[in-house]
Chains A and B, each alone.
Chain A
Amino acid sequence: MNSRETTLARVRAALRDVPARESANPRDYRSCHVADEPTVLLDLLHENLVDYRAHVHRTTPAELPATLARLLAARNARSVVVPAGLDRSWLRDVDSALVSDNATLTAEHLDDIDAVVTGCALAIAETGTIVLDAGPNQGRRALTLVPDHHICVVAADQIVASVPRALPRLDPLRPQTWISGPSATSDIELDRVEGVHGPRTLDVVVVIAPALGESGHHATTT
């Protein structure tokens, strides 16, 4: 018997007392814990991201290019890597050198690049999480990992309330990175320190359709 068969035989022998029929799992937990309304979700996402030391900025589609240019200039980004499918018009005001992602760009190359701008698959308000699924405007996983500054653009209608609401909208066959604040550690006396191996600065830019932007508190930067 090989190890696969041995293990499976041991499992089956161990479970002799278990009836063959499965009982249904109780699923009476809540699918979300907040009012599922756009302004509530936007404010909660904002609050939770800030709580984990991400910088959150609210902008409109028209102001997005200026916002991105300002954020990159504020960190003196000389170079920015751009996923193949990112809307280039977002970066029209940017002064930094734009590096298009391609197969020849190694991790060493990425280590010399200051920043990356991406979109996202969705964002989760209750946990302050943005989810990347390697979609065209996010690119491969290394892009958002090696450069020290990540700017992630979230459309307000991409915000979902909770983890259970997010999962059905995501394709498990795509590689995913869920990001809640910048890289952090609590390994030294449980003091939280930002920035160990991943990007030390996370800017989340929420793009709000004008009507919603007026009702929420506007263009807050932390």
Chain B
Amino acid sequence: MSGTYLGMPAFPTAVRASTKDTQLRANLTHATHTIRDKRAKAVAELDDWAQLREAGKDIKDQTLHHLDRYLLQLETQVTAAGGVVHWATDAAEANRIVADLVKAKGETEVVKVKSMATQEIGLNEALAAEGITAYETDLAELIVQLGDDLPSHILVPAIHKNRSEIRDIFIEAMGRWGRPAPDGLSDNPADLAEAARLHLREKFLRAKVAVSGANFMVAETGTLVVVESEGNGRMCLTLPETLISVVGIEKVIPTWQDLGVFLQLLPRSSTAERMNPYTSTWTGTTGGDGPAEFHLVLLDNGRTATLADEVGRQALRCIRCSACLNVCPVYERAGGHAYGSPYPGPIGAILTPQLRGIQSEVDASLPYASSLCGACYEVCPVAIDIPEVLVHLREQVADQGGKGHRLEAAAIRAAGWILGHPAVLAAGERAASKTRKLHPQKSPGPGIGPWTETRDLPEMPAEPFRDWWKKNRSPKEGR
């Protein structure tokens, strides 16, 4: 695994390898089943979950429907509170803004809070190209970074690694990035966490610039919110002199009171906790407490294109809880890397092709990376109808043509002609019934060949229905 999603194979090719990786399958099955069971319990504690979910969905929809107004309100409030707001239309522009801010401070390293937005824009790689080292400080992100690996889950990026694999990565790589792993490090999770604590603390204490994302931005007050567990977020958000937050424009919510909905929905859906250990909120800068300089980079990068699709825009409601990954039978077997994007699983299958477009083979394959079982929709705390968007995107992929879809289009055209000519249809049916002993149970490729590898073709009846009807239920018999 090399640290980039670029050039990765399309989903059907990628899963051919990942589904045969028994270690990966075991790690994933254990992790996803553990969390989905816990989540069900945490949700069951609130008897108004359905109402909370509806409120979350509607608040997000209302915000998206008037996004220009809320973004302007947010900008005004952040600026009034001493922050600086930057706008970035794409990844390159966002990376440029961050790199220039870091260089203006004369720094060559930054500490980072885990953030999906910065994964999406490839910030670490862009900073490296400018001679700036970005240190990931979330334990799982650290594991991924030290292992020259890629995240495979939105919430638990190293979910594909078990404890002994993590120990080996720490022993092998920590010394190259800073404080080495302690001698004789065991694979006990508490010992591994302690090694990470020691390794990262020296970085927290010397860092002058931090980069984060945000879970929510409150338009009414200009407040940013980061939800986390470990305290690495708090370290990055409060100790450095300069804080740069890169946040997707869809993360805005209208009011402070709206947090009452999302701070109930998010922790229970994601880590199955009543509340995550640490939530930090900040509004601009506060003299003598925390960073003296705060920059907010508002990121488009495909979000406005997603917003323009009336069916697909609901994907922008996503609060990145990852509940849909943990219940998905496809994710559980394929693993996160197969999706070729920082957003794996069901939400990734609809978000990635919308953010990046469906021109590439990887992105065009993602709407098909699903059994459409609907479990993702059931657990989604903001009721994103993922199956609906998947089918909608499949239609778009089919419309743009391509190998399989040209064949399908020809078949549909032929079927249309036959159905429009009843005599031809009847003759064809009779011929098919007469030759039914000769029909194969499997279809040799191309087209539906792979489909019938695991399914039998339907058996042909002894005679066509119209012949049977004529014999048995003919109106002449007075029935």
Residues of B within 8 A of A37 (CB): none
12 contacts across the A-B interface (CB closer than 8 A) = A2-B87, A28-B51, A29-B264, A141-B237, A163-B260, A164-B260, A167-B256, A167-B260, A176-B280, A177-B279, A186-B271, A198-B231
> Contacts A167-B260, A198-B231; is A23 near B238 (CB within 8 Å)?
no
Beyond the given A30-B51, A187-B158, A195-B194, could you list 14 further A-B residue pairs with CB under 8 A, ordered by the A residue number?
A3-B88, A3-B89, A7-B71, A11-B249, A14-B304, A15-B65, A18-B65, A25-B62, A142-B239, A164-B260, A173-B221, A188-B158, A188-B189, A189-B162
Report B-chain residues with C-beta under 8 Å of the C-beta of A134.
286, 289
The docked-state distance in angstroms from the alpha carbon of A103 to that of B162 is 44
Residue B332 at the chain A interface, CB threshold 8 Å: no
Of all chain A residues, the one with the shortest Cβ separation from B34 is A190
Q: How far is the CA of A199 from the CA of B277 in the complex (A)?
A: 11
Given A22-B65, A197-B232: A188 and B193 interface contact (C-beta under 8 Å): yes
A193 an interface residue at 8 Å Cβ cutoff? Answer: yes
How many angstroms between the C-alpha atoms of A107 and B207 in the bound complex? 11
Q: Shortest distance in angstroms between B113's beta carbon and chain A's nearest beta carbon?
A: 11
The answer, yes or no, to whether B282 is at the interface (CB within 8 Å) is: yes
Q: With a CB–CB cut-off of 8 A, which chain A residues contact B194? A: 195
Q: Are B308 and A14 in contact (CB under 8 A)?
A: yes
Q: Which listed residue, B249, B275, B277, touches A183 by the CB 8 Å rule? A: B277
Q: Please tell me if the beta carbons of B68 and A52 are within 8 angstroms of each other in the complex.
A: no
B347 within 8 A of A: no
Report which of B35, B67, B231 forms a contact with A196, defined as CB distance below 8 A: B231
CA distance A111 to B200 in the complex (A): 13
B331 interface residue (CB < 8 Å to A): no
Nearest CB in chain B to that of A197: its residue: B231
The 8 Å CB contact of B278, one of A140, A172, A179, A193, is A179
Q: Looking at the complex, which one of A29, A124, A174 makes contact with B48 (CB distance below 8 Å)?
A: A29
- Residues of chain A contacted by B321 (CB below 8 angstroms): none
Q: Which of A1-51 contact B (CB under 8 A)?
A: 2-4, 6-8, 10-15, 17-18, 22-23, 25-30, 33, 48
Tell me the residues in window 161-180 of chain A with beta carbons closer than 8 Å to chain B beta carbons: 162-164, 167-168, 172-180
Residue A185 CB within 8 A of the other chain:
yes
CB closest chain-A residue, reference B53: A29
Min CB distance, B261 to chain A, in Å? Answer: 7
Q: In the complex, which residue of chain A has the Cβ closest to the Cβ of B271?
A: A186
Q: Check if B257 is an interface residue, CB within 8 A of chain A.
A: yes
Which of chain B's residues 282-311 have a Cβ closer than 8 Å to chain A?
282-283, 286, 288-290, 298, 300, 304-305, 307-308, 310
Residue of B nearest to A181 (CB): B277
Interface centre among A30, A141, A168 (most CB of B within 10 A): A141
How far, in angstroms, from A10 to B303 measured CA to CA in the complex? 9
Q: Which residues of A contact B419 (CB under 8 A)?
A: none
For B257, the chain A residues whose CB sits under 8 A away are: 164, 167-168
For the complex, what is the distance from the CA of A191 to the CA of B281, rounded to whole Å?
A: 27
| B263 interface hit (Cβ, 8 Å) | yes
Decide if A187 touches B139 in the complex (CB within 8 Å). Answer: yes
Complex CA gap A212/B137 in Å reads 44
A103 to B289 CA separation, bound complex (whole angstroms): 9
CA distance A179 to B232 in the complex (A): 13
B68-A11 in contact (CB<8A): yes
Which of A73-81, A91-99, A125-133 lies at the interface?
A: A125-133
B230 near A183: Cβ-Cβ < 8 Å:
yes
| B276 CB–A CB distance under 8 Å | yes
A-contact bits for B242-284, CB 8 A (1 contact / 0 none): 0000000100000011011101100100010111111111110
- Please indicate the chain B residues that have their CB under 8 angstroms from the CB of A187 in the complex: 138-140, 143, 156, 158
Q: Which residues of B contact A (CB under 8 A)?
A: 27, 30-31, 34-35, 45-48, 51-52, 54-55, 58-59, 62, 65-68, 71-72, 81, 87-89, 93, 137-140, 143, 156, 158-159, 162-163, 166, 189-190, 192-194, 196-197, 200-201, 204-205, 218, 221, 223, 229-232, 234-235, 237-239, 249, 256-257, 259-261, 263-264, 267, 271, 273-283, 286, 288-290, 298, 300, 304-305, 307-308, 310, 313
Tell me, yes or no, whether A219 is within 8 Å of chain B by CB.
Answer: no
Q: How large is the interface on A (under 10, 10 to 19, 20 to 34, 35 or more residues)?
A: 35 or more
Task: With CB as the reference atom, state the residue of chain A lying closest to B68.
Answer: A11
CA of A80 to CA of B331, assembled, Å:
48
A108 within 8 A of B: yes
Residue from A124, A127, A129, A145 in contact with B231 in the complex, judged by beta carbons closer than 8 Å: A145
B275 touching A127, Cβ below 8 Å: yes
Query: Nearest chain B CB to A222's CB is how many angstroms away?
Result: 17
The answer to whether A188 touches B139 (Cβ under 8 A) is: yes
CA distance A199 to B55 in the complex (A): 35
Q: Is the CB of A183 within 8 A of B204?
A: no
Contacts of A193 in B (CB 8 A): 189-190, 193
- Residue from B31, B218, B267, B283 with most neighbouring chain A CB atoms (10 Å): B283
Tell me, in angstroms, the Cα distance from A193 to B139 when the chains sit together.
Answer: 11
CB distance B260 to A188 under 8 Å? no
Q: A168 vs B276: C-alpha distance in the bound complex, in angstroms?
A: 20
Query: Measured between C-beta atoms, what is the minimum distance from A111 to chain B in Å?
Result: 6
Are B139's CB and A196's CB within 8 A?
yes
The answer, yes or no, to whether A184 is at the interface (CB within 8 Å) is: yes
Inter-chain CA distance A193–B62, complex, in Å, is: 39
Question: Considering the chains assembled together, what is the distance between the CA atoms of A30 and B48 in angstroms?
Answer: 7
Chain B proximity of A49: nearest CB distance (Å): 10
Determine whether the beta carbon of B55 is less than 8 Å from that of A195. Answer: no
Which of A142, A175, A196 is within 8 Å of B197, CB to CB? Answer: A196
Judged by a CB distance under 8 angstroms, whether A182 is at the interface is yes
Collect the chain B residues with CB atoms within 8 Å of residue A27's CB: 55
| Chain A residues within an 8 Å CB radius of B35 | 190
Chain B, residue nearest A10 (CB):
B304
Return A184 CB to nearest CB of chain B, in Å. Answer: 5
A126 contacts across to B, CB distance below 8 A = 274
Residues of the B chain whose Cβ atoms lie less than 8 Å from the Cβ of A183: 229-231, 277-278
Q: A178 — nearest CB in chain B belongs to which residue?
A: B279
Residues of chain A within 8 A (CB-CB) of B304 are 7, 10-11, 13-14
Once the chains are docked, how many angstroms separate the CA of A125 from the CA of B234? 23
Q: Tell whether, in the assembled complex, residue A52 and residue B234 are in contact, meaning their CB atoms are under 8 Å apart.
A: no
List A contacts of B288 (CB < 8 A). 103, 140
A8 nearest in chain B by CB position: B68
Q: Which residue of B lies closest to A165 (CB)?
A: B260
